[in-house]
Chains A and B, each alone.
Chain A
Amino acid sequence: MIQISSDVIRGYNDTMILYLLWDTPSYGYEISKKISEMTDGMYNIKETTLYSAFKRMEKENLVTSFYQSAENGKRRTYYQITDAGRSYYLSKCEEWQVTQDVVEHFIRKE
């Protein structure tokens, strides 16, 4: 199976995380697991990558964080999307469409 190089996908980590936060707040491992499941294991986000993405987006006010205790009493950091985060996500979706169209011209189809 071809592994995606993390350099290429780096610019879209935020997009994936914001997509998963769209409906409901979530926490680190849940997001990481969903990314692996949705991509059938083709992309596994590293924990340090995920954490630095959270902190960067928090600084840019795209997400906010809060603590919440889980069923088993474990305290987790949850992240919630903000309005700025939603509009950033939508602009990234548009950007991806354009990127895809542009790159598509250079992909051989034989």
Chain B
Amino acid sequence: METIKNYLESMFAQLPNTPEVWKAKDELWQMMEDRYNDLIGSGKTENEAVGAVIAEFGNLEELADTLGISQAMNQTRQANAKTLSLEDALAFVREKSKGAFVIGIAVLLFICCCTGPIVATSLVDNDASAGLGTVCMFLMIAAGVGLCVFENIKMSKWDFLKNEPYQISAETATQIYQESESYRSTSALLTAVGIILILLCVLPVSILGYLNISESLTSFGAAVMFYFIGTGVLILVSTNGREKAYKEILSLNSQSTIAGSYVPKNAKGEQYNSKELTAIMSLYWPTITCLYLIWSFLTFQWGHTWIIWPVAGIIHLLIKNLFGQGEK
């Protein structure tokens, strides 16, 4: 049955997304399903039934006039969009997720670079150890930058997807779509773990501070805080990277083809009434994060500064409801 569905999908993949075409696809599917069930009922094997159904399908060109798509069918043949194979699509997702992990490591290094001086000075408080800590910091930054550059060069081989028209077959779209759906629960779990790590980052430093064993141990806790944040961000970045890869592949097809209907509706992110507002709002959460960190580090009132998150959440919801473009 799945084979028949895929066959029909691929036949219709490049046709325009019009009511006539949906109707034709729907009704041809009814007939194929009926024939398949009838053949299975009369004792044919799955393979024989699928073969017979496909043999009796006929030729889509016969429908061209009926569907008013003669022009579209000719155009499709002339269109120079190349097809990205399933293997390439899967390879793209694989490499892109790996790349996101590498970028995540780089971000981890950036976030944690300040731990070098903190740990070094807390162990031995003299000029030499401060110097060593600073060297450590710059080494981490350098490693992070190196990783970013390396990853950028590595991923540039996929630039052709942006520069040339590419499309995917319905079969590829289905497979990628199913994979992205099955990744959804994993990604939700990982996102939760990442967020929890970031939220819990103050735990070690506050516990050690509370116990008040020694000053150096407390500043050691402060260093651990950065590793909590860094690991959380690493998880978020790499999860998000894989999801973005799926979306990128699925949005290769234009919305106007049937295969294009696989494009997730919210692929474009949040939309607001004006372009300016959409641009401003895309910076909303990063700005809030910066505000939170600045306020917290300046006052060290971690017990109070978290209030910024619920307040920011409510304001975001208000703006979204007042100026956002609702999904239709």
Interface residues of chain A, those whose CB is within 8 Å of chain B, are 27-30, 32-33, 44, 46-52, 54-56, 74-77
Contacts and interface: CB of A to CB of B under 8 A. Distances in A.
B59 A51 contact: no
Contacts of B28: 47-48, 51
Given A29-B35, A52-B62, A52-B63, A44 B30 contact: no
A52 B66 contact: yes
A48 B30 contact: no
The 7 closest A-B pairs by CB, nearest first: A46-B58, A48-B58, A29-B34, A28-B31, A55-B66, A48-B62, A52-B66
Interface string B63-100: 10110000000000000000000000000000000000
Given A51-B27, A55-B66, A28 B56 contact: no
Contacts of B30: 27-29, 74-77
A39 B65 CA distance: 28
A56 B66 CA distance: 7
Nearest to A56: B66
Interface residues of B, number: 19
Contacts of B57: 46-48
Interface string B1-41: 00000000000000000000000100110111111001000
Given A27-B30, A29-B31, A77-B27, A51 B66 contact: yes
A77 B27 CA distance: 7
5 contacts: A28-B34, A33-B38, A46-B56, A51-B27, A74-B33
Given A46-B62, A48-B59, A76-B30, 4 more contacts: A27-B30, A46-B57, A47-B56, A50-B31
Nearest to B26: A77
Contacts of B56: 32, 44, 46-47
A49 B31 contact: no
A51 B35 contact: no
Contacts of B33: 74
B60 interface: yes
Nearest to A36: B56
A47 B31 contact: yes
Contacts of B34: 27-30, 76
Given A47-B31, A52-B66, A29 B58 contact: no
A55 B68 CA distance: 11
A65 B66 CA distance: 15
A28 B31 CA distance: 6
A74 B30 CA distance: 9
B38 A51 contact: no
A25 B32 CA distance: 19
A54 B30 CA distance: 14
Contacts of A52: 62-63, 65-66
Given A46-B56, A46-B57, A51 B24 contact: yes
A50 B31 CA distance: 10
